[in-house]
Chain A
């Protein structure tokens, strides 16, 4: 799966949780979930569960803590899928 494909899937996963439409329109690798998309921090665990289901991977606690932006999340998804 290419990085672009992962970002595309991730974009549809975060869509229900975003509270900043402008930030969502301009979503890119550098987008931060809380600062740019204004996602409620409690919902980050829901996004992680949705990512697990979509990519059929398991995300450990250490990785979870790092998943605050598109870039970090994509990197973790790639690492888990290649593991």
Chain B
């Protein structure tokens, strides 16, 4: 028998809100976390705006010890630890360095690159023939699995502790990997999520590819415009999102708060065939990912109330809407409500799927659909597939039972997860 999997804890460090309460308020009110950054301008970036979470020194000291903070220079690890620890506590657990090793709990926490600023520091020292001055802090902050190594030790996990990486699909992929592990009885609890550095060294390559907008440096909050006719590229973001996944049995046993159920999902790749490339999606594979996710979840396409899209504000948004419409065989007024959190916080890259999934789960827990901002001028191509009523620009309070969340990434990789409001009536198949 397969285990049912539920979500019992959330944590988030986002450009428009740090902590679940602040973040919930921000997404409900459509608060932008995008600001101008002089540093980007000074370095000659075309896009000088971005989403960086506001985290005070005082706040950092609540999560990491003075020893952990010696020579520390990795915002992805910092955000990941904050979101991960918050999610763990939110699920009703405590954080204690002398806790008993827990072989039933593990974690999958993804990144694109880890500690890129720390890596830069190391490169400068090595080039100055000063390799010995790296000390002990370079490896653990720059290895891809730095984040899982930090969190695994802080929380004392004895199950699988690893890092996944699949570009902008990373965060959503981590959820589905953790889900599989619990479903198949290999773990009771998996902390899953994704993190991305606030760094011009992470963002520079995208600026060079001309996929970031350079038209909104004077009006940062208007810059991220998914689904809009005036969309001109994405706005870079950063932060971390974390979710505690748990077998239903374990959650019920300890009377945990259940945010939602993970019904199922799918991860696939377009193989860079049929129009897919290193940087563009194979539409057929995207559609198959969505339909396979719905099949795996055991629901009908009609059951989906809300879609939280990938929708970055590049020229691919209309194609994404077309893919959803074809995969679900729903269009016009019959299409579900759809929103993109990137309109609030930009594209948080490896963290995007995780932060956006936290927002998705909050919509189920609190029964609302957050507003899209900056799409008062919906792209006409999109209106060819769906009605503008389905792209809310104001908060909607309504019943949200089933929500589909997808992320797509460079390398032609896709992930789609189906969340459902928890009800004890649902039977396992």
Contacts and interface: CB of A to CB of B under 8 A. Distances in A.
A46 B136 contact: yes
A49 B135 contact: yes
A49 B133 contact: yes
Contacts of B70: 16, 46
Contact of B66 (A16, A45, A46): A16
Contacts of A63: none
B98 to A, nearest CB: 11
B170 to A, nearest CB: 28
Nearest to B69: A16
B67 A17 contact: yes
B125 to A, nearest CB: 11
A66 B215 CA distance: 60
B275 interface: no
A46 B136 CA distance: 6
Please report whether the interface of chain A is mostly helix, strand, loop or mixed according to DSSP: helix
A42 B138 CA distance: 11
A45 B135 contact: yes
A42 B71 CA distance: 14
A17 B133 CA distance: 17
A70 to B, nearest CB: 19
B3 interface: no
Contacts of A30: none
A8 interface: no
Nearest to A44: B136
Contacts of A46: 70-71, 135-137
Contacts of B133: 49
Nearest to A42: B136
B181 to A, nearest CB: 30
Interface string A1-25: 0000000000000001100000000
Contacts of A42: 136
Interface in B299-313: none
A45 B136 contact: yes
A16 B64 CA distance: 13
A45 B66 CA distance: 17
Contacts of B132: 45, 49
A16 B133 CA distance: 18
B121 to A, nearest CB: 13
A45 B71 CA distance: 13
A43 interface: yes
A24 B71 CA distance: 22
A46 B137 CA distance: 8
B126 to A, nearest CB: 15
B136 A43 contact: yes
A17 B136 CA distance: 12
Contacts of B136: 42-43, 45-46
A60 B200 CA distance: 37
B135 to A, nearest CB: 5
Contacts of A49: 132-133, 135
A17 B69 CA distance: 11
Interface in B45-73: 66-67, 70-71
A43 B71 CA distance: 11
Interface in B119-161: 132-133, 135-137
Nearest to A17: B67
Contacts of B66: 16
A46 B133 CA distance: 9
Contacts of A43: 67, 136
Nearest to B70: A16
A24 B273 CA distance: 63
A42 B135 CA distance: 9
B146 to A, nearest CB: 14
Interface of A: 16-17, 42-43, 45-46, 49
Given A43-B67, A45-B136, 4 more contacts: A16-B66, A45-B132, A45-B135, A46-B136
List of 9 A-B pairs having minimum Cβ-Cβ separation, nearest first = A42-B136, A46-B135, A45-B136, A46-B136, A49-B135, A16-B67, A45-B135, A16-B66, A43-B136
6 contacts: A16-B67, A42-B136, A45-B132, A46-B71, A46-B136, A46-B137
